[in-house]
Amino acid sequence: MSAGDRDGDIGDLFAIAARELRTVVRTPAVVALSVVFGLTVVAVAAAGSGARGGYVPLVLDLVPFVEALVPLLAVALCYRAVLSDRESGELDVLRTFDVSRPAYVGGVYLGRGLALVFVVFGSLLAAGATVPVLSPPDPTFLALNEAADSPVAFLRFSVLAVLFALAVAAVALAVSAAARTARQAIALAVGLLVAFVVGVDAAAVAGLASGNLGIDAVPLVLAASPNGAFRSLVLGVAVETGGSTSPVAALAGLVGWVAVALAVAVLTAWRPVE
Amino acid sequence: MALVTPETTRWVAAATALVFVLASVSFVVPASGSVSPVPFDDTVKTGGTSVDVRTAEVEGFEVPLAQVHFSRYRYIIGYYDVTTAAADVSTPESARQFGDPLAVFVTDYATVSPDIDDDGSLRTEHNRNPGWTKASEASFVVDSGARVPSGPIAVPFSDAGAARSFADAHGGEVVDWATLRDRAGDPLSSRLTAFESSVAAHHEWANQTTAASDALFDRPVSTVVGEDAPTVEAAVESAPANTTVYVPAGTYSVDAVELNRSITLLGAGSDTRLVGDGNGSVVHLRAEQSAVGNLSVSGVGEVGTRRVRASNESVDWDTRVELAYGRGDAGIVLDGANESAVRGVEIDTPASGIIARESADSVVDGVTVRGADNPSDGFMGVVLIGERSVVQDSTFLGGRDGVYTHRADGSVIRDNRMEDGRYGVHQMYTSDALVADNVVRGDRIGVVLMTRPVGNLVVGNDVRESDFGFMPAGSDTYVADNVFAGNDYGMDVSGDRQVYVRNVVAGNGVGVRGSSTFPTNVVVRNDIVGNDVRVESSLGPMRTWTAGGEGNYWGDLPLGDADGDGVYDRAYQPSGVVDAELGREPGALALSESPAVRALRHARDAVSGLRGSGVVDAAPRTEPVRPETLAALNATEETDD
């Protein structure tokens, strides 16, 4: 592959990413969903007792909601991205420009991913900003226990939430590339959502109960689902309550989902003409 | 949308990537600061008794301290006692409230050559200040005979050799931190035992003091007013010491009756009426073992308080209060009259009833004081200043405060009835007093403790139809077996290290008001039922009102108790917007079972010490602690369904 090809690929990638961003902004349903997501996250901060105390309790308040809502948002953004291009014929038009599959899939992922990152990170930062507003000032006559709470924990949590969102988005993108009909896409997307949010954890519990799974293997099973990996990372790295298990497995799990899902998307976007 | 070009997308993507690279630096920055010892004054003190520390400051002996840095509490927790810290740090309650102990530091005596004096007090060579050491690396000498006023202490050393030589010199055993923790008993039960024995000791002292005053009313009659002397004043002038001046029934105009000898002024009952001239006080007791009994007093002056002139700035507030409250007009004044008694006297007064100044071991027994109709016009029923006394079986109607104490440490105020005044019992600068079995109706506050007292005992009182049932300040108060019913506010949980057990708080506007900043008070085994608002709490972090697996009774809640252990299966947050209505509004139950509320509840139960204010009971009871009392009050939760 020549240098010119690579420049061309990257140019294609950003052109497609720009197109995706425009599409997202012009889709009222997605904008509405993003607003609902942002409001929900801030409302949880306001409704819970965490934001009135510190960053760590706010993280713990937000974890279950982020775990359920971020995959929903990511799937909503991506589950038909490639499929709708294919169904509308835009994909065929794009192919006449000799766009490579990685450039196309990368562009779609980048464009949708950027939108997702703005919504997730922005909402979480807004929720985090309620802490200094809602918590009472510290009395000056007492020594502060600096080990107890820190905005660093919240920043870590936010970065992990973005990583989690990107992993689920990649999976949803793979669904949109692999599915041949809208019905297939929605069935696959909902199936994966249920598996991530409930299924893998429930299966792990069932495995423990039946004795087929040792407690030692639980971190690995959790690392195998984006939700489990995200949760392990938050508890183990962001708020440091989960003991001393190495975060490597969970991190590898998240990155692995991105890599595998994007590879599937590239391979299934279209069949290359020999 | 012309703005979103491939070129701008490049920039946006690059900027976003940069933001995340920068945000990811947070994984390199340590999230938790360093854990190192802080000055003890800067800690939140809990556990152990501050009485020891106050005494130590005066007498210069050592109190080994501990400070604990928890993973989930904003401040450092200080303990006045190493053993209490050992017992406390690993309980489920402290884990729930404060998180895991990251580090425990204890006073280190390894380099300051400690010694034990004849009283068992620990002293360092040349009064050198000890430093801090990590408890996990320290050695502790127990049973060495070293003690503080409240009991024996463990002495920590950073160096095992120093600990051994201390044990060799003074006896005792050297143990490590883990052993100390294993041996430590339940921190609450030992406190309760100490409080109960203090209550018993106070009652015993009051019984003995009262019994000793019986002799004052058995003195032979030497002088009968109207037979041996023309006036009451003349009779008390001439009567020999240790005799009785008898005043037959009748009305006697008196100016100022002064008992300057140990005599007893005894009437024939309420038909013996001493009537003052409406100026100043009527009867003065200025001698030890003097007494007044079986008569009525009226014609008291109207001056409740003689304020110190504001220009005199050398007078501190303490003295100012003492002068202001102790120098007004009263029916009977005890002035330096140790071991004196007032018994069976009825007093009508526009100012105070009885003022006892610096009169140790005096007894006010079976007295009735009728004060001003309007509390702000009148003054105190009984004022105790400066010494320990007994006030019992007396009735205080109207006026300002039923019993007012000022530096009357150790006093016993029991079995009295206060009605329609300002405060039933009002303590200022008074520690270690017993306020027991008093009945208060229609006051502004039933029992109020002000000015940071220590170690008061408030037990078995019954306050109703008042604005506030009970309001404490200070620390280490034992609040037990009281009934606060039908008031605007039942009881206040404020101050530090207070213990509230077995109180019935029923049918008040607000049951319990939590108004302390730090979560060091213990509130367990109370029945808090039928209040419009169960708990009002806005200051400080989330508090857990559970200890040793025991919580409070909040009424018949629509929660499960699958294992039938008498404790509902989930924690209950009486101050929470949803839980507050549980058992009253059917909607609250449905809302409380929603995934969102469940998720928040689950999260709430972690890291309480860092959360916003409120109260959680981790072990809410399914059955009341005092069912008979509740039944007598007819107190139940009202359900709107």
Domains of chain B: 42-185 (no CATH), 187-429 (2.160.20), 475-641 (no CATH)
Which DSSP helix (H) or strand (E) runs through B54?
Answer: helix B50-59
Q: Which residue's structure tokens are 């501990």?
A: B66
Q: Is the Cβ pair B611, A11 closer than 8 Å? A: no
Residue B70 has its nearest CB partner, among A21, A49, A145, at: A145
The per-residue pLDDT for B188 is: 84
Q: Is the Cβ pair B606, A60 closer than 8 Å? A: yes
> DSSP per residue over B592-616, as a string?
HTSHHHHHHHHHHTS-GGGSPSEEE
Determine how many CB atoms are found less than 10 A away from the CB of residue B356.
31
Residue of chain B nearest A150, judged by CA positions: B31
Which DSSP helix (H) or strand (E) runs through B353?
Answer: strand B352-357
Q: What is the pLDDT of residues A34-90, one digit of tens each?
A: 999 999 999 888 887 777 778 888 888 888 899 989 999 999 888 888 888 888 888
Q: Is the Cβ pair A14, B10 closer than 8 Å? A: yes
Amino acid at residue number A272: P
| B599 neighbourhood in chain A, CB within 8 Å | 64-65
Residue B13 has its nearest CB partner, among A17, A51, A60, at: A17
Q: What order do you get walking across the sheet with B139-142 strand by strand? A: B155-157, B139-142, B173-176
Q: What order do you get walking across the sheet with B44-46 strand by strand? A: B44-46, B77-79, B66-70, B101-108, B131-134
Distance from CA of A68 to the nearest CA of B (A): 11
Q: Judge contact between A17 and B5, C-beta under 8 A.
A: no
Highest-pLDDT range among A246-250, A266-270, B121-125, B280-284: B280-284
- Asked if B599 is an interface residue toward chain A (Cβ–Cβ < 8 A), one would say yes
| A47 neighbourhood in chain B, CB within 8 Å | 596, 600
Q: Judge contact between B232 and B257, C-beta under 8 A.
A: yes
Amino acid at residue number B147: R
The per-residue pLDDT for B641 is: 39
The per-residue pLDDT for A3 is: 45
Question: CA-to-CA distance for B475 and B48, rounded, in angstroms?
Answer: 11
Determine how many CB atoms are found less than 10 A away from the CB of residue A214.
9
Question: CA-to-CA distance for B495 and B497, rounded, in angstroms?
Answer: 7
- Asked if A246 is an interface residue toward chain B (Cβ–Cβ < 8 A), one would say no
Strand partners, B298: B275
B225: phi then psi, degrees, rounded to nearest 5 = -65, 135
What letters, b where the CB count within 10 A reaches 16 and e where it falls short, cover B480-516?
bbbbbbbbebbbbbbbbbbbbbbbbbbbbebbbbbeb
- What confidence tier does A30 reach under pLDDT thresholds 50, 70, 90? confident
Q: Judge contact between B479 and B502, C-beta under 8 A.
A: no
The per-residue pLDDT for A1 is: 42
Question: CA-to-CA distance for A105 and A179, rounded, in angstroms?
Answer: 15
Q: Judge contact between B202 and B410, C-beta under 8 A.
A: yes
3-state secondary structure of B117: coil
Determine how many CB atoms are found less than 10 A away from the CB of residue B230.
10
Residue of chain A nearest B21, judged by CA positions: A159
- What confidence tier does A2 reach under pLDDT thresholds 50, 70, 90? very low
Is the pLDDT at A242 greater than 60, yes or no?
A: no
Residue B74 has its nearest CB partner, among A49, A118, A149, at: A149
Residue of chain A nearest B15, judged by CA positions: A114
Q: Is the Cβ pair B73, A145 closer than 8 Å? A: yes
Residue of chain A nearest B602, judged by CA positions: A61
The per-residue pLDDT for B133 is: 92
**Structure-block tokens of residue B586:** 């059917």
3-state secondary structure of B537: strand
The per-residue pLDDT for A7 is: 66
Query: Which residues in chain B show pLDDT less than 50?
Result: 639-641
- Asked if A197 is an interface residue toward chain B (Cβ–Cβ < 8 A), one would say no
How many helices (H) and strands (E) are present in chain A, helices listed first? 12, 0
* Stretch among A94-98, A241-245, B565-569 having the lowest mean pLDDT: A241-245
The per-residue pLDDT for B629 is: 93
| B46 neighbourhood in chain A, CB within 8 Å | none
Q: What is the pLDDT of residues A162-193, one digit of tens each?
A: 999 999 999 999 998 888 888 988 999 899 88
> What would the mean pLDDT of A203-212 be, rounded to a whole number?
83
Q: What is the pLDDT of residues B212-258, one digit of tens each?
A: 999 999 999 999 999 999 999 999 999 999 999 999 999 999 988 99
B449: phi then psi, degrees, rounded to nearest 5 = -110, 125
User: Measured in Å, how far apart are chain A's first and last C-alpha atoms?
Assistant: 17
Count CA atoms within 13 Å of residue B404 on its CB side: 22
Q: Is the Cβ pair A61, B16 closer than 8 Å? A: no
Residue B610 has its nearest CB partner, among A57, A63, A64, at: A57
- Between A101-134 and B6-24, two packed helices, what is the crossing angle to 10 degrees? 50
Which sign does the torsion angle of CA B580, B585, B586, B591 carry? negative
In chain A, domain spans: 3-136+151-269
> DSSP per residue over A110-173, as a string?
HHHHHHHHHHHHHHHHHHHHHHHHHSPPPPTTS-B-TTT--HHHHHHHHHHHHHHHHHHHHHHH
Q: Which residues contact B215 (CB under 8 A, 6 or more apart)?
A: none
Report the DSSP pairing between strands B44-46 and B77-79: parallel
What does chain A come to in residues? 274
Is the pLDDT at A6 greater than 70, yes or no?
A: no
| B102 neighbourhood in chain A, CB within 8 Å | 147
- Asked if B537 is an interface residue toward chain A (Cβ–Cβ < 8 A), one would say no
Strand partners, B464: B441, B485
ipTM score above 0.85: no
Q: Judge contact between B621 and B553, C-beta under 8 A.
A: yes
Q: Is the Cβ pair B32, A146 closer than 8 Å? A: yes
Question: CA-to-CA distance for B345 and B205, rounded, in angstroms?
Answer: 23
Residue B74 has its nearest CB partner, among A52, A60, A144, at: A144
**What is the gyration radius of the CA atoms in chain B, in angstroms?**
30
